[in-house]
Every structure is written in structure tokens, then in C-alpha cells.
Amino acid sequence: MRNTAYYNVKRIIVNTAIHSFLLAVAVTCIFPLLWMVACSLKTQEEIFKSMSLIPYGWHFENYYLAWMQGGFGRFFINSIIYTVSVVVGIIIISSMAAYAFSRLQFPGKNILFYMFIAAMMIPIPGSFVPLYVLLNKLHLRNTAIGYILCMINVGLSTSIFLLKTFFDKMPKELEDAARIDGCSKIGIWRHVALPLAKPVLAVVVVFNVLNVWNEYVLALVIFDSRQLMPLQVALTSFQGEFVTNYPLLMAGLTITALPVIIVYLLMQKYIVKGVTQGAVVG
Amino acid sequence: MRIKETLENYVFVLPAVTIFIVFYIIPFIWVFQLGLFEWDGILPTKIFVGLNNFKEIFFDRTWWQSMGNAGYITLIALTFQNIIAFMLAWACDREIRAKNFYRLIFFIPPVLSEVVVGLVWQWILDGNYGLLNYWLNGLGLGNLTRSWLSDPQTALTAVAIVHSWKGFGWGFLIFLAGLQTIPRELYEAARVDGANAWQTFKNVTIPLMIPVAALVAILTILGSMQSFVLINAMTRGGPAYHTEVPVLRILASMRGSSRFGYACAQGISFGVILMAISFVQYKLSKKIKE
Amino acid sequence: MSGKKQILCLLLAFAALSGCAPQKEASNSANTITVWHWMTDREPAFRELARRYEAKTGIKVRFELYAPSEEYSQKVRAAAQGVNLPDIFGILGEKKDFASFIKAGHVLNLSSYMSADNFKWRDRFYARALAVNEFPSGNTYGVPAGYYAVPIDVMTIQMLYNKELLKKLGSEPPKNLQELLDIGKKIKAAKMQGLVSGWGEIALIDCFANNYAFNIMGKDKVLATIKGRVPYTDPDWIRVLSLFKEMQESGVFANGLVTMINKNAEQLFANGRAVFAFNGSWCVNVYKGMNPNLSYGVMLPPKASDKYPMAIWGGAGSSFMVNARAKNKEEAVKFLEWLTDKEQQAYLSEATNNLPANKESVSALSEVMAQFAKGIDNSTHPNVWGVSEFTPVLEAFDKGIQSIIIGEKTPEQVASEVQKIKMRELAKKK
């Protein structure tokens, strides 16, 4: 009797400690989001005068104004197109390459792989300039496809690295089984490797979505046409050279943050499900 | 037959390698050879100076100070940030209530734009009207208040902590993915064998998490050494270089002193150092695995 | 999964299709002028002016905004490399970068237009404003003499004081250094905040230090120092550096001054939380937006010495230049002439609360704007001195001042460090 009570109390204490810890960290995480939303509902003067998280008057029209003034409609669609294209492109391209580095043989394999790794470590300062000139020569400069290709390159190294690390750990039995069944290499990649890699792919998706969604400078430099600009550019219209329209900026930032949060929510599922556990017999 | 096989294999890496060569290698070569010139980025003429830029970097005190700062930030990230990320992932891996809620909340910092993060933390840490000092005063700890971002003793640590706050979501995500791949049967087996919580942790969890930890470590190192947007937003590298980091120095060379060639040389040196650090880390993690 | 995949493939195809055709709009036609700018606040005013110009002449003017200014500079430089600059643009940066652009053939020499009709265009500007865009004959940059850009507004950088807070302290605006230090002590005692300014960045510290350098040793000695004939360890320079120590110790400076960006400084002053500010005339618009009821005045930095006059920085605010390779050169120049005409300048000034570059437009300026305008003819600016200090030296000097303010280094230490770097740079030049 005493033992059970002891363990119960211990369990409650441990759980409380864990929950307090989780809660404390969660509060620091959610605070900026709340502050952002609170500011988006205030007026410019109120933001500077009051420190409270509760706005005095709830100015929901700021969201409408931000959308209209920033011309969000067009830029939103642009950002979605770029992000989706880049993510789909990267998933296909990097998973194929990672699978090859992990499972296939060909001369120069190691050198090529280390090249990708090295690229993660050597930042190119001012790469905008050579990219600009390069895209110009290829007649791809003021085009969406040029931008998409550049952004695919940005996330390539890390994605390949993450995927190859995973593929190395993947049990070979499933692949052998598929090969015996007459599956081609592409088939194995598509039907065995990719489904197994769902958790890592989810991480790759989130990583690249964030990169592309928040990207700003490259777009500004290589696009001349306002029609091609991504969402982040719309935000700059609230940050004047001298005056920043904080309420609209915060409303804009909130609108900008929402899609990424949604993507993360969707991808979370795959990370949770994890690797198929019962697939390996024994 | 073998040739056909090899060609098939090449097809897998062809798209990646093509894009990589066009959009990374070519700009890289351009930048690499620029390190040997003195150029302001505008004039059509460049002056060949050989290895002078690199010699100058060797003696550039602010460059090494910025390296040290980046190293400090990375150290805090490797320890403080990743330990908390791991603890949070471990807590969420257990079957507790509100698990999904926490998983969502912890990823908000990485999602937020650097603008918001910079603004909010500046407001919290402001020396005169900041929230942190306001609370400290309220709790009667008034003598602890200071100008967190302007005081040379606290500026760098403050910046490092904010950086860790923004980044732990990634470590959390990857650790969680790793923890999820540990088959539950192993935990069951350990329990049946009579192991207590700590022994299970030591003998089951930790060994299986080492590769994941190595992955997180390398990503943390690379990310933290190269970070600069957040720091620029909060302190601009001040006061007096106390929060200056290498990428900010490179940008200063490019834009401030208009020395494109020098900036490229700095970039190359930085890359070499990062590769050296990664190599050391790789060897270390291999040793630990045994 | 297959359904989702199909949708994704469709999207990719759509992106590819919409992307393959380069978006070339009618920017090459003779009836359109393209202007790249970074001035977010003036975008509405610019669009209105473009509308008026098109109604008047039938020529379309496209103002394209690329902000913030750092990224704007990147874009301009990349475009210069790709030989793709628009008809009209601006360069943000030092004179030596301006010189490089000219030497690379990107900027049109406007002298012939300026001198036409007995210098009609040139004479409507404040001399100071135009001087920033001029390269006199025999200049050290190796650029052929001439005018290469036109200012579309002017600005001066001065000190501001909060009238109510000063009254609370029982003081008048300080006329000399001693009075300023005394007010500083009162500020400390009353636990208020003193001077705020964007001293986290180099430009404004440099300006403040420079103003006092001119006041203490005179313009000639300052220029001689830049040319390398006078060392920074000279007692006059140590005096300049010591000023910062004195002001810090008396409480003149606000807390956290050395990491402040100007936007935060403006916020603090606009909300009545600082007694003094050091800022440029653009701040009038900013303060109005944050706190229209702020009661403040403008003054010169209180002089430290009676030997030489106190200097302030002023001159062109923003300038536009014409792409020398543009097909629309002539039309572009005509547009700039129209833009800097009396009426348009008056409109811009009113709409954006900036000082006009055209002397004749000084019509209905508010009291504070008029105070700012008073300083223009006595102002100076590094871009008109004909010599530039080496950037590493400037950086060491200004960051050194930051060190002095936080009490990490003494003025003598900073002076000798700066001088060392100066010697190194001079040796490199040879």
C-alpha cells in the first residue's frame, strides 16, 4: 500500500516538474507571437505609449489595410508558387541524389558528396552579384524559373546531407526484397526509400519552406518587375526610410507567419508517425 | 553492362550536380579568385595583390575578435540550446497530455521573422524601458538591472541567448524525430529486465541518439557561426565590436569600405576555418561512437 | 498521394510556364522613364508627381521602390555589374563610391545642362546642396570636373531639445559646453534620460565628433589631419575625444546610447523620454507621425570653444543621377529639371516634410523646419571637402568613441590606436 502511494506521489511530482518546465519554455515562445498580434490591433501612438499586451481598441481593420496597402494578393500567390516549386523540386532532386550517394556506386561519388558538404560551410559573400550576372547571361534574370533554380540551390546541400544520413541508417532488407521482386532502381527509390524517409522529408520540407518564404534580398536584386516579387517585399512598404508603420507591419508579419505555421502543423504528423516499426521482421 | 549501370546511377545525381555547378561552383570560383584582388565592386579595373588580402586578415584584430564572438555564441548554442532542446524532445516523446500543443509552440521562434524577434527582444532587454528590468524591479531585484544590450559585459551573452531561443525549435524537431525512431520494444525489454528510468536512459536512449546528436551538433555549429541577421537587428555588432560576428565583418568590407576583394578573402578564410571545425567535430563524434 | 502529386505537378508546370517568358515591360520605349528609388515615405508623393508629369508631357515616369536602403544599394551595384541600370537612380554611400560609378561610365555628366541659359538650372539650388554632387577640377578622385547628380531635397543635422523637459529641469537651451554639462548633472539627479541618437551606427557619431572638431581646431586643421599632415594624437584631437568622456560622466548621454539605432532614438525622443536628440531634419516627419503634440526646438551643438565657429553637417538629402548609357538620357534630364523646379519642390517639401533643394521653394515651412533650414548656408559635409578619410580609420575612431563612452578606453588610448591605423593605411597607399 505504502509503496503504491509512494510511487504515485513520485509520479505526480515528476509530472508536475516536467509540465512546469514545458510550460515555462512555451510561454517564452508564445510571447512574441502574442505581442505581434497585440501590436497589429493597436494604433501607432498606442504602441509606443502602452506596454500592455491587451490593445485598448481592437483595430481589426489593420489587417484589411495591410493586405490592401501592401498589395498582398499578388505577392502572396508569388510566394506560394515559389515555395511550392522549390520544395517539390528539392524533394525530388535531393532525395534522388542522396539515395545515389548512399546506395549506388559510381566513380567520383565521394568527391561529389564532399563538394556538397563543403558548400554548407563556405558562405559566398555578395553572391548576389555573380548570380545576377550569370542569370543575365542565361536570360533567366527577371524570371520566376531563374529565382526558383537559385533557391533550389540554396537548400540543396543541407537537404542532401540530411537525407543521406537517413538513407545510410535505413535497413537494407526492404530494398533487397523489392529488387528481388523485379523493381528498378527508380522504383526502389520511389516506392521504398521515399516512403520510409517521411520524417526526414518532413524536416526537409519545413526547412526549405522557411528558407524560401522568408527570402527577400535575392528577389529584390534580380527581379525588376514588381509582379514577380515575393511576400517579404510587400512588408517593406511599411518600413519607411524614417517612419515605420508598426501596426500595419505587425499585421503584415502575422499574415506572413500563418502559412508557415500551417505547413509545420501538416508536416508534424509525419515526423510523429516515424519510421514503420514493424516492417523489419525479427 | 557495367557502363549502362554506371550511367543509370549518374542520372540520379545529375539534376543536383547540374544546378550545383551552375549556381554555386561558378559564383564560387568568381569569388575565390577575387580574393586575390583589390576591387571596390564598381570600377571595371581590378588590382592584383596576390596573397596580400590573406596576410592582412591574419593581422586583422577585429576579424579575430568577431571569430571569437561567433565561437562564444556557438558554444552557448551547442550547450544551452541543444540540452534544452533535447530535454524538451524527451519530455514530449513520453505519452503526456497536450503533446501536440507543445510541439506546435516550440517551433514558433524559428518561424517568426528575424524582424519580429529582433524588435521584441530589444524591447524586452532595453536598459531604460525594457520588460526584463521592469520585472526585476518588481521582484525587488532592482540591483540586477542593467542595459543588457549596451553593457559590454552582458551584450554578447544576451545576444547568444536570444539566438539560442530562436534556434532550439530545430534541435527539438530533429531530436524528436530521432527519439521517435527508437523502437518501443527496446524500452519494454529494458523495463522487463528491471532497469530503472536512469538506466534505461543511459543504456537505450543515449547510445541510439548519438548519431542524431552528432547531426544536430554539426548543423548547430554551421548555423551559429554564420548567423548575423538577428545580431545586426539587435546591436549592430556593438557596443564597440563586442557583438561583432564574421559575416558582419564581411558585409562591412563589402559595403562600408567597398573592398570587395578583401571581403571575398575573408569569406574564403571563414570557409576554411568552418571546414576545419567540422572536420574536428566529425572525428570527435566518430570516436564517441565507439 | 497521386492526386496531391498531380496538383503539385500542375503548379510546377504553371510556374515554369509563367517563368519562362521574361517579363519585359515597356521600359525600353522612348515614352517611359524608369526611376529606381529607396524612399518609402515619398512613394505616394512621387506617384502623384509622375501623374502630373505624364498629364503635362505625355511621358510616362515609372518610380520603382526598392527598400530598405541597404538592399537598394546592393541592387544598384549588381545592376551596374550587369550593365542594366535604369534611366534615373541614386547612389547611397561615400563620395569615392560615387567617383567609381562615374569612372565606370554609369553616370551622365550634367554640367552642360547646368550651365545652359546662363546657369539657370544650377543657380536655383542651395550651393551646399549641389556641392555634394559636384567634382571640382583637380579633385583627388580622378574624375573629370562637373556636376553629376541633382539634389531633390536638403537636410541638416542638428541638436534638438524637448521644451517641456528642459523647463522641468529649470534650464534654458545650453549655449556652450559648460551649460550643457550642468544640465547633464541635473538630468542625472532627476533620473531622466539625456541625449539620444543613432550612435550604434557610425555616421551620426562621426558627425557629432566632427562638428566639435571643427569648433575646436578649425576646418583647415581637420582637413590637414585627413591628408595625413597632423596626427590624431594631437592635443586638439584628444580634446575632442575627451568631450565624450566629460559628457558621459556628467549625465548628458542617455543609457544605452552606444547601441541605439536611430529609429529607437527617434522613438524615445518623440515620446518625451529624452531631453536631447541629435538628428537630421528628416526627423520632423518622423516625430509628427509618432507624437504630433511634441514640443521641441532645434539648436546647434553647444560650442566648446570660441576660437572657431561650430559646424554642422548639411547639404543634399537625396540625389538622383542619370544613367549615361540610357537611351532616354535627354528625357530623363528634362524630367529631373522639372522635378527640381520651384513648384514640384514645394509640393514635395509639404507632402513629405523635408527641406526643398530649391532655394525659391522655402515658402510655408513650419517653425521647426525653418530652424533647420537656417543652418544650411553654414553647413558642411564630408562629400564637399575634396578628401576622404580611410574607412578603417573612421571605423576605429568612431568605435573608439563608443569605447570611451562605455568607459573601456581612455581618449589617449583611442587616439594612439587610430593614429596607428592611419599610419598603416598611409603606408599601404605608397
Would you state the pLDDT for residue A240? Answer: 66
Establish if A91 touches chain B: CB-CB under 8 angstroms.
Answer: no
Q: Which chains touch C (3 or more CB pairs under 8 A)?
A: A, B
Would you state the pLDDT for residue B31? Answer: 85
Residue whose C-alpha cell reads 566639435 in the numeric block:
C212
Give counts: helices (H), strands (E), chain A: 14, 0
3-class SS at A247? Answer: helix
With contact defined as beta carbons under 8 Å apart, do B12 and A100 qualify? yes
Would you state the pLDDT for residue C229? Answer: 93
For B114, what's the count of Cα atoms within 13 Å in the CB-facing half-sphere?
18
B222/A121 Cβ within 8 A = yes
Establish if B122 touches chain C: CB-CB under 8 angstroms.
Answer: yes
Establish if A242 touches chain C: CB-CB under 8 angstroms.
Answer: yes
What are the backbone dihedrals phi and psi of residue A219, each rounded to the nearest 5 degrees, phi first? -60, -45
Q: Are residues C306 and C423 in the same domain?
A: yes
pLDDT band at C20; cut points 50, 70, 90: very low
Establish if A258 touches chain B: CB-CB under 8 angstroms.
Answer: no
C70/B128 Cβ within 8 A = no
pLDDT at C110 over 80: yes
Q: Are residues C89 and C140 in the same domain?
A: yes
Mean pLDDT of B175-185: 79
Model confidence pLDDT, tens digit, residues A149-207: 999 998 999 999 888 888 887 778 888 888 888 888 888 888 888 888 887 888 889 88
In a domain, residue C17? The reply is: no
Q: What pairs with residue C34 in β-bridges?
A: C62
Minimum distance, in Å, between the CA of residue C87 and any CA atom of chain A: 13
Q: Which of B33, B11, B27, B67 is nearest to B270 (CA)?
A: B67
Q: Are residues C138 and C210 in the same domain?
A: no
CA nearest to B258 within chain C = C97
Structural domains of chain B sorted by starting position, each given as residue range(s) with its CATH number in brackets: 59-289 (1.10.3720.10)
A112/B19 Cβ within 8 A = no
Q: Are residues C118 and C192 in the same domain?
A: no
- Cβ-nearest to C20 among A133, A145, A239: A145
In a domain, residue C19? The reply is: no
Mean pLDDT of chain C: 87
**Gap between the Cα atoms of C183 and A147, Å rounded:** 57
What is the number of domains present in chain C? 2
Tell which wins on pLDDT, C4 or A206.
A206
Q: Are residues C290 and C328 in the same domain?
A: no
Lowest-confidence pick of A154-158, C16-20, C114-118, C248-252: C16-20
Would you state the pLDDT for residue C196? Answer: 94
With contact defined as beta carbons under 8 Å apart, do B241 and B66 qualify? yes
pLDDT at B65 over 60: yes
**Gap between the Cα atoms of A120 and C280, Å rounded:** 43
Q: Are residues C115 and C236 in the same domain?
A: no
Q: Is C249 left (phi over 0), alpha (psi -120 to 50) or beta?
A: alpha
Would you state the pLDDT for residue C173? Answer: 92
C-alpha cell, A47: 504602441
% of chain C with per-residue pLDDT over 70: 92
pLDDT at C18 over 50: no
Q: Determine the distance from the C-alpha atom of residue B194 to the mean position of all C-alpha atoms in its chain, rounded to a whole number.
A: 40
Of these ranges, B83-97, B218-232, C390-404, the one predicted with the greatest mean pLDDT is C390-404
In a domain, residue C12? The reply is: no
Quick count: other Cβ atoms within 10 Å of Cβ C275?
27
Q: Are residues C261 and C408 in the same domain?
A: yes
Minimum distance, in Å, between the CA of residue A2 and any CA atom of chain B: 19
In a domain, residue C40? The reply is: yes
CA-based max dimension of chain A:
82
Q: Are residues C223 and C288 in the same domain?
A: yes
Model confidence pLDDT, tens digit, residues C150-209: 999 888 899 999 999 999 999 999 999 999 999 999 999 998 899 999 998 888 999 999
Would you state the pLDDT for residue C238? Answer: 95
Establish if A149 touches chain B: CB-CB under 8 angstroms.
Answer: yes
Chain C CB contacts of A221 under 8 Å are 71, 74-75, 78
Say how many residues make up chain B. Answer: 290
Would you state the pLDDT for residue C24? Answer: 44
CA nearest to B101 within chain A = A26
Would you state the pLDDT for residue B284? Answer: 85
Mean pLDDT of B21-39: 89
Q: Which of B275, B165, B157 is nearest to B221 (CA)?
A: B275
Minimum distance, in Å, between the CA of residue B240 and any CA atom of chain A: 23
Would you state the pLDDT for residue A50? Answer: 66
Establish if A42 touches chain C: CB-CB under 8 angstroms.
Answer: no
Tell which wins on pLDDT, C239 or B142.
C239
Tell which wins on pLDDT, C38 or B179.
C38
Helix, strand, coil % in chain A, rounded to nearest 5: 75, 0, 25
In a domain, residue C22? The reply is: no
- Cβ-nearest to A134 among B13, B27, B183: B27
In a domain, residue C384? The reply is: no
Mean pLDDT of B150-158: 88
Q: Are residues C205 and C287 in the same domain?
A: yes
pLDDT at A6 over 50: yes
Complex confidence, ipTM: 0.82
| Domain boundaries, position C235 | 155-314+389-429
In a domain, residue C23? The reply is: no
Would you state the pLDDT for residue C22? Answer: 42
Task: Report CA torsion sign: A165, A171, A172, A178.
Answer: negative
Lowest-confidence pick of A171-185, B4-18, B19-33: A171-185
Interface test with B, best of A51, A120, A157, A255 (most B CBs within 10 A): A120
Residue whose C-alpha cell reads 548575423 in the numeric block:
B228
- Between residues 149 and 188 of chain B, which touch chain C (CB distance below 8 Å)? 149-152, 155
Establish if A281 touches chain B: CB-CB under 8 angstroms.
Answer: no
- Cβ-nearest to C81 among A133, A146, A225: A133
With contact defined as beta carbons under 8 Å apart, do A275 and A202 qualify? no
Lowest-confidence pick of A75-89, B16-30, B196-210, C42-56: B196-210
Would you state the pLDDT for residue C243? Answer: 94
C-alpha cell, C300: 546647434
Kindly give, in sequence order, each residue whose CB lies less than 8 Å from that of residue A259, ignoring residues fewer than 6 positions away: A80, A213
Chain B CB contacts of C400 under 8 Å are 240
pLDDT at A10 over 90: no
Q: Are residues C140 and C178 in the same domain?
A: no
Of these ranges, A166-180, B205-219, C334-348, the one predicted with the greatest mean pLDDT is C334-348
C400/B236 Cβ within 8 A = no
Minimum distance, in Å, between the CA of residue C216 and any CA atom of chain A: 32
Of these ranges, A117-121, B63-67, C282-286, the one predicted with the greatest mean pLDDT is B63-67
- Between residues 105 and 134 of chain B, which touch chain A (CB distance below 8 Å)? 105-117, 120, 123, 129, 131, 134
Q: Are residues C54 and C112 in the same domain?
A: yes
Mean pLDDT of B204-208: 82
Q: Which chains touch A (3 or more CB pairs under 8 A)?
A: B, C
In a domain, residue C7? The reply is: no
Chain A CB contacts of C283 under 8 Å are 242
The CATH code of the domain that includes C61 is: 3.40.190.10
Q: Are residues C369 and C400 in the same domain?
A: no
Would you state the pLDDT for residue A242? Answer: 60
pLDDT band at A121; cut points 50, 70, 90: confident
- Cβ-nearest to A241 among C22, C27, C38: C38
pLDDT band at A272; cut points 50, 70, 90: low
